Amino acid sequence: MAAVLLAGETARGESTPDEADGRADAGGWPSPLRAWYTIIIIALVSMMSNIDRGIINLLVQPIKRDMVLSDTQVSLLVGFAFSFFYMICGLPMSRVSDGRNRKLILTSALAVWSFATALCGLAQTFWQLFATRGLVGAGELVKGPCSMSMISDLVPRERLPRAFAIYQLGINAGQGGALIIGGALIALLAGMPPIVLANGVIIKSWHVVFLLCGVPGLLLALIMMLTIREPARRGRRVQGQAPIREVALFVGTRWRIYVPLLLGIAIASIELFGMVVWRPAFFERTYGWGPEIAGPLLGAMMLISTPLGLFLGAMLAERFMREMRDDAMLRVCLVSHILAVPFAVAMPLMPNPWLAFALGLLALTAVGMSAPGQNSAIQIITPNEMRGQVSAIYLFSISVIGGGFGPTAIALITDQLFHDEAMLRYAMALFAAVVGPIGILLTWLAMKPYAAAVRQLDEQTTT
């Protein structure tokens, strides 16, 4: 059977283990050097993804001013425009990633969304910027399924929390890098006169920020194409991708795990995206910190809190695994959510910006602890041939539900409940106080059935 699968992979243009990974260790895994290099490159791809996705967060005020938009319209550009196209294309492309060369798919997608980011720098109207943001989302939709599937084929289970910590570090480094790079570029371009191009196209400083942010991703795509090899797929039961019906049946029979787990992740993502998107505007409206001040500081906040949170989360997950806790991965998520909620509620209510900054740093550190566990949990309990499609559902919970509804939920509270943009701080606190405990409850509900699934998987492996 293994020979048939291997022949099938090779016939489709995918590599055998030796061809794909060079020297492997005794267990058939890629050599540590190649495995960790590939994981680092994948993390850099995720970093570029989140810079291109998140740079708009720092440009909310100038875009709102120049295009004469409401907070709700801005939230549609930041969240819905990206998430809608991500949602439309996500599942079909995730099925492709379950059966085709993931390296080629991921490299091509990186080039597409980087080009789309540059196109945002030419937008003159709300709908033009909406369309280019949608193209960014359409390009980024395969990043998660391909990346997570590849990582799961690069290192054994006991190393997954560490591998996904590096992957998540790239994501959060991109979010922080967007703020730092954006703040630096805004300061550098301050006072730049508008540039008038043909057909009345006017380029202002925020347009230039988009144009400059699109270039590095194109260079990284070239590096990835030349230096990364497609890893061999492991533990596959069928050739190619599993049928949608089989995936639906698998998830349906394990709904006690997937439903509360994915809903809990979605709820936590709604809170996270909502707070992250509006944090720069909150510091400007509440304390008078403009983007040139808030951007680098908030970026530094993420670059400090992210490695610390991921390190703590990965170490805690590995400790729980050594203690033979079958629910180790979700136990870390539960601890993370319980710690994060009080800090998230209190942060926008602080009397000065430095106290708000400190509590925001603690909240993000606690949030970061959950990433290694939840990423590993999805991969551990999902068969290889379904990982791309199940990962697409998982990332739908994060990017479409979280990214699409989080920014708009806070904007609606500000616009419709308080009717005053200066009340943004209270909208953020109210939002975190309502949403946070729901995420905690859902994670707790998923822990017991998840532990049972892990025990069943271990029993099947040893027999």
Q: Token pair of 342, please?
A: 């009080």
Angle between helices 102-120 and 81-97 (to 10 degrees): 160
Query: H or E stretch including 261?
Result: helix 255-287
| 432 vs 53: which has the higher pLDDT | 432
Of the chain, the end-to-end C-alpha distance in Å amounts to 18
In the chain, count H helices and then E strands. Answer: 21, 2
Q: Please state the rounded mean pLDDT for residues 274-291.
A: 85
Q: Is the pLDDT of residue 25 over 70?
A: no
Tokens 């301050």, located at residue: 190
Task: Determine contact, residues 329/377, Cβ cutoff 8 Å.
Answer: yes
- Determine the residue type at 267: I
Q: How confident is the model at residue 401 (pLDDT cuts 50, 70, 90)?
A: confident
Q: Please state the rounded mean pLDDT for residues 437-451.
A: 92
Nearest to 279 by CA among 364, 214, 204, 213: 364
Whole-number pLDDT of residue 86: 67
Q: How confident is the model at residue 403 (pLDDT cuts 50, 70, 90)?
A: low
- Determine the residue type at 410: I
Whether the model clears a pTM of 0.75, i.e. scores above it, the answer is no
Separation of alpha carbons 302 and 223, rounded Å: 26
- Determine the residue type at 87: M
Query: H or E stretch including 202?
Result: strand 202-203
Highest mean pLDDT pick, 8-12, 57-61, 270-274, 358-362: 358-362
| Exposure on the CB side of residue 44, measured as CA atoms within 13 A | 17
- 3-class secondary structure, 425: helix
Q: How confident is the model at residue 41 (pLDDT cuts 50, 70, 90)?
A: very high
Q: Is the pLDDT of residue 90 over 80?
A: no
Within 10 angstroms of residue 211's Cβ, the number of other Cβ atoms is 15
Whole-number pLDDT of residue 442: 93
Q: Token pair of 125, please?
A: 């109207």
Residue 256 to residues 253, 337, 449, Cα–Cα distance (Å) = 8, 20, 6
Per 3-state DSSP, the chain is made up of helix, strand and coil in percentages (nearest 5) of 85, 0, 15
Whole-number pLDDT of residue 238: 56
- Determine the residue type at 253: T
Q: Please state the rounded mean pLDDT for residues 363-381.
A: 86
| 270 vs 225: which has the higher pLDDT | 225
Each residue's pLDDT tens digit, 125-178: 888 899 888 888 877 777 877 888 888 888 887 788 888 888 888 877 777 777
Highest mean pLDDT pick, 135-149, 365-379, 449-463: 365-379
Whole-number pLDDT of residue 421: 84
| 306 vs 360: which has the higher pLDDT | 360
Task: Determine contact, residues 169/313, Cβ cutoff 8 Å.
Answer: no
Residue 420 to residues 57, 214, 408, 416, Cα–Cα distance (Å) = 20, 35, 15, 9
| 360 vs 7: which has the higher pLDDT | 360
Residue 99 to residues 3, 14, 224, 238, 252, Cα–Cα distance (Å) = 17, 9, 20, 10, 22
Q: Is the pLDDT of residue 409 over 80?
A: yes
- 3-class secondary structure, 418: helix
Enumerate domains of the chain plus CATH numbers. 20-231+242-462 (1.20.1250.20)
Separation of alpha carbons 256 and 331, rounded Å: 16
Q: Is the pLDDT of residue 441 over 90?
A: yes
- Chain center to CA of 29: 26
